[in-house]
Amino acid sequence: MKVLGVDVGGSGIKAAVVDTLTGEMVTERHRIDTPQPATPQAVAETIAALVKHFQWQGPIGCGFPAAIVHGVAKTAANLDKAFIGTDIEALFKSVTGCEVYCVNDADAAGMAEFTQGSGKGKQGTVIFITIGTGLGTAIYTNGTLLPNTELGHVYLPNGKEGEHWASDATRKRKELPWKKWAGRFNDYLQNMEALFWPDLFIFGGGGSKKLDKFQEFLNINTPYVAASLLNEAGIIGAAIYAASELERRSN
């Protein structure tokens, strides 16, 4: 099945058509800056512009940076607070004219990594962390996802909220050298270790592309790997989610 995968981020909204059987993008990726302020209507219109770009008429899978319960956004850490309580599946459907299936962005990226990337076949407790505007998390135990874990918002022993302390956006905003930022990210990882005792971390999101710049500064007990799909995971995973929901909801 072909699905338009959309990845809504704090700085860009990206999309591509994905073949959900092969898990591959069958078009180039197209990106539009996230509108500021990122209100529900403005974000919906940006998704509509992407739909127009691809001349798309089929289903859409949308990874979105919030806890999503039955199509409703429950949080909005890095977008306009008006999203909280908005039925984004209904809104995006009304603006694009397409069926839309929404899922947390880190869960979407995790789905792609566990279907065909670094998480494939991994057993035990695996924490997938996207390093970007926020810190997104997806927890898998023996291949099963626990959805909507908002662990970027866990407070660290130093009193700081995880993603405010150690996101890629914080590194850029504060112009932190890699060593300094890695120390902060290490604080975050050690806290995750103390709370969940994982078997593996997988690092995704834009920040994971720079693993070679910061891995020498990490000091954790848990093995870790970089996500293998990098920038494409969010788009591919959103499309995979839509295909599985289409099937589930039609039964």
Cα–Cα distance for residue pair 17/30, rounded to 1 Å: 10
160-164-168-174 Cα dihedral, nearest 10 degrees: -90
Least distance between ligand BGC and beta carbon 132 (Å): 6
Q: Six-digit token pair at 179?
A: 């060593």
**Residue 78 engages ligand BGC in binding (rule: CB under 6 A):** yes
**Minimum separation from the CB atom of position 22 to ligand BGC (A):** 26
Binding to ligand BGC by residue 228, rule CB under 6 A? Answer: no
Q: Which of the ranges 19-27, 53-61, 63-71, 173-181 carries the binding residues for ligand BGC, by CB under 6 A?
A: 63-71
192 near 151, Cβ under 8 Å? yes
Round the CA-based radius of gyration of the chain to a whole number and report it.
Answer: 17
Report which DSSP code applies to 58. Answer: S
Site string for ligand BGC, 16-55 (x = CB under 6 A): ----------------------------------------
The minimum distance between CB 9 and ligand BGC, in angstroms, equals 7
User: Applying CB under 6 A, which of residues 23, 59, 65, 110 lies at the interface with ligand BGC?
Assistant: 65
| CB closer to ligand BGC out of 89 and 150 | 150
Stretch 179-218: interaction string toward ligand BGC, x if CB under 6 A? ----------------------------------------
β-strands 100-104, 72-73 pairing: unpaired
- Structure tokens of 229? 């799909």
Q: Dump the DSSP string for 229-246.
A: SGGGHHHHHHHHHHHHHH
Instruction: Pick the stretch among 37-45, 126-134, 187-195, 208-216 that binds ligand BGC (CB under 6 A).
Output: 126-134
- Find the helix packing angle between 233-250 and 105-116, rounded to 10°: 90
**86 touches ligand BGC (CB under 6 A):** no
| CB distance 196 to 127 below 8 Å | yes
Residues that bind ligand BGC in the complex, under the rule CB under 6 A: 65-67, 75, 77-78, 104-106, 130, 132-134, 136, 150, 152, 163
